[in-house]
Chains A and B, each alone.
Chain A
Amino acid sequence: MEKYIKERENQIATAGDQNFEMDCAKASAAGSVSQRSCVFCGSRVVLYPIADALHLVHGPIGCASYTWDIRGALSSGPQLHRLSFSTDLREKHVVFGGEKQLYNALTELIIKYKPAAAFVYSTCIVGVIGDDIEAVCKKVSIEQNLTVLPVQAEGFNGTKKDGYRIACDALAKLMGTSGNNNKILNSINILGDFNLAGELWMLSEYYKKMGVNIVAQITGDGRVNDIRRANNAMLNVVQCSGSMTWLAKHMKEEYNIPYIRVSYFGIEDMSDALYEVAKFFVNKEMMHSARSLVSSELKKLLPALSGYKEKLKGQKAAIYVGGAFKAISLVKALRLIGVQTVVIGSQTGSKDDYSIIKDICDEGTIIVDDSNPIELQYFIREKEATIFIGGVKERPIAHKLGIGFCDHNHERKEALAGYEGMLNFAKEIYATAMSPVWQFVRK
């Protein structure tokens, strides 16, 4: 047995190895138990948090069933996004076409739920059986006088990242349709935060304190009408760059809105995000508010963290998450609490992301793109990691290896962003590292 699939050799690197360029952003190797999902998934996770929209999955039941209410993306108002709608195609539709089923389903659901807009996701077989979902969406849109957007994200048509792009496409179509194109003073859109465990609410508090106006949240606690007028903002603040950079670039071209990339994980990155926004508006008062906000938060946070750092010294972490930009923040956040990163990887990182990772990680750290359980367990054992940070699919790997685990994926129920989130993160890491249960492992 081999440690890794041969064709994946160029997706595995070690920090310190200067000549290496990650061969990423490609389709997963067939037969690999990739931790990635498909194009459909990519589009679904991005659009899911738009709470007042109808999300209808056109296909057999699986795709809708597996994505029913699985994100911890909270809404302060409507909860329509948490229902799982499917056209539930059967064999007869596969043979005779599913357009009528889609038409009926859409019409029925729009009348029943009165959404602010509808997204229709196509799944693998929809294109193959020849359903013209665009035409159906158009027809229903006219009949019901509602924006109905097709999201043509057939699962096989690329990688999860292509799904992000398709979702961004749909969002782009929504933008600029509010009928109001006046810029709003000191305003931003928040791109790429999904309000997991209410994180976005914490962030908007920070921005509010600085006097920054938020036009649209894309897509955490998102609303259709906010997205429509997102073109009125002056700046796009982009987290989760993997999913949202395309939209930010599009908005730059179309509406001349510049963007900055930020991360809200860890003290350093969180503070930088606020400073960068203040810097953009060239507003002394705003910068002053940002500084005093940061210093007052740190006054509370740093003493609370120091105890954890003391106790967590010597712990080694493996990180495997969806987006690489988050992984970068995690390395820094872990350092802050005394934990060294020894393995780091992502499902959808770009070359640039990986080159930053290589620069910030300690020499010898294993860096991997689109990994699988066999590789991950091997790297973890080789580097003697004691904590694994990942998502639901990584948890049992960690637990079977007898090491701690911290869920940093989109299903989590703990807020880990912002200053409060940093403390929660430390608590999470501490709770997993210090549990007495490890005494029974391998005995």
Chain B
Amino acid sequence: MEETEIAIQENILEENVSQYFASTCNACKVCSPLGASVAFKGIKACVPLIHGSQGCSTYIRRYLISHFKEPVDIASSNFSQDSTIFGGQRNFNKGLDNIIQQYNPEVIAIASTCLSETIGEDIAGLIHSYKSQHSGENLPEFVAASTPSYQGTHMDGFHEAVSAIVSAFAVKGIQSEHINILPGFVSTEDLRHIKEILADFRLDFIMVPDYSETLDNPNWKEYQIIPQGGTSFSDLKKLGTARASIELGHILNQGSGTGRIKNVNLNPTGAQYLENKFGVERFNLGVPIGINATDKLFELLATLSNMEMPEKYKMERGRLIDSYIDGHKYVFGKKAIVYGEEDFVIAMVNFLEEIGIKTVLCATGGESGHAQDSLRQITGNKTLNVHQGLDFESIRHLSKTLKPDILIGNSKGYYIARELGIPLVRVGFPIHDRMGGQRILHLAYRGAQQLFDNIANALIEYKQNTSPVGYKYM
């Protein structure tokens, strides 16, 4: 891209975005307890509890159910006026009693909210006092994450929860053969695929969190009060004795731009904690979307397993390259707007770069302050327009000048694609208007294959539909 063109584009961004200084319209993010709930759902026999008002858990359940199409039970401590004034201990204790009575879980995982944080609830203290009131009883394990919605987005909540799980449960021990895999917030199909790959490399592994089943179960013979699946407590304890951790994602919960005031010290990521505390070596890679990013993961797995890439993946990679070649002209030079969580956008844009699609706007609701640097560095494309803290109305506004050919992101951008009359390729989270959103595969060669086909076909279909001829060959 020409320097002047970049300057103009950046000007447009500045001008348009500055109009939206005070309010957010159609946010491209949700709040942190949602992310924490997803992470907690990845623990076996766990019931999440949101320490706040009833609405927090119900809204989050509704949002997740519409995407995963699974029962998502999340309890609430159901704050009242009294709890807000005098503290939530009574409701907290009662809540734990009732969860234990109804669900008999192995783990209760607590996420705080803007309300409980603002009134200064000390959740660690509440857990401690509950435990001492019930000493001698067989209680579940507890873990708590600090996830006020005024701090970051659902992604911060997700990674805060992962960090909390790891630091609550991992213990010291003799180093063992297994590795840890911290995949980040990806689809249930992505999780299953990662497990398949690791198994094919004959690696003994612990995945945290693993909601591949809990949020995407088969139909049950008997109704399961707590859906099966998830990382077990005994596995979580072993995280500290792994020989390595693989953590996917660059931003994670390392956002310095989330407006922290009270607590400016960032928590370490899950794998950082394990490295600092137990010396478990941390390998940090991007989310593996596309060939380049996936190659890095497979190289690492080959090293860790001391094994060559299994034939199956060589074939998948080969077919993927073959299809890149077959379809390259359909996609080359096409302009895309990509939006979603920061790590997701980074990975997706990195993939688009390798197939020749020009991302004219990399938009995210996150505000880590690192998205632009990471993206430009990872892709090597110093001209990428990256904008953090954007809402959908700003994206919509910008799209009128940027004139993209395609939108790539979650279902919430549909109204923009509809208005522009261009295709939307649905990826990421949430997908609220289609079947199978939770089963979209994004990762590794197989995921890139599906993404490539979907994107190319969306562009072909657009061309076909807008042509007066009605071609049967494209």
A86-B101 in contact given A40-B55, A155-B54, A392-B62 (Cβ < 8 Å): no
**Are B225 and A68 in touch, CB under 8 angstroms?**
no
For A64, give the chain B residue with the smallest CB separation.
B27
Within 8 A of B (CB), among A106-139: 107-109, 123-125, 128-129
**Are B25 and A94 in touch, CB under 8 angstroms?**
no
A400-B219 in contact given A91-B150, A109-B23, A156-B81 (Cβ < 8 Å): yes
**Are B21 and A374 in touch, CB under 8 angstroms?**
no
**Are B150 and A60 in touch, CB under 8 angstroms?**
yes
Task: Pick from A64, A109, A155: contact of B56, CB below 8 A.
Answer: A155
Q: In angstroms, how far is the closest chain A Cβ from the Cβ of B222?
A: 9
Contact with A along B86-111 (1 / 0, CB 8 A): 00001110111111011110000000
The answer to whether A29 has its CB under 8 Å from any CB of chain B is yes
A84-B27 in contact given A155-B56, A157-B81 (Cβ < 8 Å): yes
Q: With the chains together, A101 CA to B20 CA distance in Å? A: 12
For B99, give the chain A residue with the smallest CB separation.
A31
The answer to whether A377 has its CB under 8 Å from any CB of chain B is yes
The residues of A that contact B62 with a CB separation of less than 8 Å are 66, 70, 392-393
**Are A33 and B57 in touch, CB under 8 angstroms?**
yes
Task: Pick from B58, B113, B261: contact of A36, CB below 8 A.
Answer: B58
Interface centre among A27, A35, A95, A156 (most CB of B within 10 A): A156
**Are B24 and A60 in touch, CB under 8 angstroms?**
no
Q: In angstroms, how far is the closest chain B Cβ from the Cβ of A413?
A: 11
The residues of A that contact B30 with a CB separation of less than 8 Å are 61-62, 65-66
**Are B95 and A30 in touch, CB under 8 angstroms?**
yes
Contact with B along A294-316 (1 / 0, CB 8 A): 00000000000000000000000
Q: In angstroms, how far is the closest chain A Cβ from the Cβ of B340?
A: 14
**Are B83 and A156 in touch, CB under 8 angstroms?**
yes
Q: With the chains together, A156 CA to B56 CA distance in Å? A: 10
**Are B23 and A30 in touch, CB under 8 angstroms?**
no
Contact with A along B31-55 (1 / 0, CB 8 A): 1011000000000000001001111
**Are A393 and B61 in touch, CB under 8 angstroms?**
yes
The answer to whether B268 has its CB under 8 Å from any CB of chain A is no
**Are B55 and A155 in touch, CB under 8 angstroms?**
yes
In the complex, which range does the number of interface residues on chain A fall in?
35 or more
The residues of A that contact B83 with a CB separation of less than 8 Å are 156
A128-B98 in contact given A156-B80, A392-B66 (Cβ < 8 Å): no
Q: With the chains together, A180 CA to B102 CA distance in Å? A: 57
Known: A5-B98, A32-B75, A38-B58. 9 other contacts (CB 8 A): A30-B95, A64-B27, A83-B26, A83-B393, A90-B150, A125-B118, A393-B61, A396-B72, A442-B221
The answer to whether A253 has its CB under 8 Å from any CB of chain B is no
Q: With the chains together, A108 CA to B259 CA distance in Å? A: 22
5 contacting pairs across A/B (C-beta < 8 A)? A29-B94, A29-B98, A377-B223, A393-B62, A402-B219
Within 8 A of B (CB), among A140-163: 154-160
**Are B59 and A108 in touch, CB under 8 angstroms?**
no
Q: In angstroms, how far is the closest chain B Cβ from the Cβ of A442?
A: 6
**Are A31 and B114 in touch, CB under 8 angstroms?**
no
**Are B149 and A108 in touch, CB under 8 angstroms?**
no
**Are B98 and A35 in touch, CB under 8 angstroms?**
no
Task: Pick from A32, A63, A91, A442: contact of B59, CB below 8 A.
Answer: A63
The residues of B that contact A381 with a CB separation of less than 8 Å are 223
The residues of B that contact A125 with a CB separation of less than 8 Å are 114-115, 118, 150
Task: Pick from B55, B65, B102, B259: contact of A41, CB below 8 A.
Answer: B55
Contact with A along B66-86 (1 / 0, CB 8 A): 100111111111111101100
Q: In angstroms, how far is the closest chain B Cβ from the Cβ of A116?
A: 18
The answer to whether A49 has its CB under 8 Å from any CB of chain B is no
**Are A1 and B103 in touch, CB under 8 angstroms?**
yes
**Are A65 and B27 in touch, CB under 8 angstroms?**
yes
Task: Pick from B53, B90, B151: contact of A156, CB below 8 A.
Answer: B53
**Are B24 and A34 in touch, CB under 8 angstroms?**
no
Within 8 A of B (CB), among A30-69: 30-41, 56, 59-68
Q: In angstroms, how far is the closest chain A Cβ from the Cβ of B42?
A: 18
Contact with B along A183-220 (1 / 0, CB 8 A): 00000000000000000000000000000000000000
Q: In angstroms, how far is the closest chain A Cβ from the Cβ of B407?
A: 17
Contact with B along A314-344 (1 / 0, CB 8 A): 0000000000000000000000000000000
Q: In angstroms, how far is the closest chain A Cβ from the Cβ of B84?
A: 5
**Are B91 and A30 in touch, CB under 8 angstroms?**
yes
**Are B31 and A65 in touch, CB under 8 angstroms?**
yes
A373-B73 in contact given A30-B78, A90-B150 (Cβ < 8 Å): yes
The answer to whether A89 has its CB under 8 Å from any CB of chain B is yes
**Are B98 and A31 in touch, CB under 8 angstroms?**
yes
A91-B23 in contact given A63-B55, A124-B53 (Cβ < 8 Å): no
**Are A37 and B58 in touch, CB under 8 angstroms?**
yes
The answer to whether B174 has its CB under 8 Å from any CB of chain A is no
Q: With the chains together, A65 CA to B75 CA distance in Å? A: 20
**Are B27 and A124 in touch, CB under 8 angstroms?**
no
Q: In angstroms, how far is the closest chain B Cβ from the Cβ of A43?
A: 11
The residues of B that contact A282 with a CB separation of less than 8 Å are none
Interface centre among A60, A65, A160, A441 (most CB of B within 10 A): A65
**Are A66 and B60 in touch, CB under 8 angstroms?**
yes
A441-B54 in contact given A66-B62, A90-B150 (Cβ < 8 Å): no
**Are A95 and B261 in touch, CB under 8 angstroms?**
yes
Q: In angstroms, how far is the closest chain B Cβ from the Cβ of A127?
A: 8
The residues of B that contact A41 with a CB separation of less than 8 Å are 55, 58-59
Q: With the chains together, A32 CA to B92 CA distance in Å? A: 11
For B49, give the chain A residue with the smallest CB separation.
A31
Task: Pick from B20, B59, B98, B119: contact of A62, CB below 8 A.
Answer: B59
Q: With the chains together, A2 CA to B225 CA distance in Å? A: 12
Q: With the chains together, A342 CA to B40 CA distance in Å? A: 35
Task: Pick from A37, A124, A128, A397: contact of B71, CB below 8 A.
Answer: A397
Q: With the chains together, A290 CA to B265 CA distance in Å? A: 70
The answer to whether A365 has its CB under 8 Å from any CB of chain B is no
Q: In angstroms, how far is the closest chain A Cβ from the Cβ of B45?
A: 12
The answer to whether B473 has its CB under 8 Å from any CB of chain A is no
The residues of A that contact B412 with a CB separation of less than 8 Å are 68
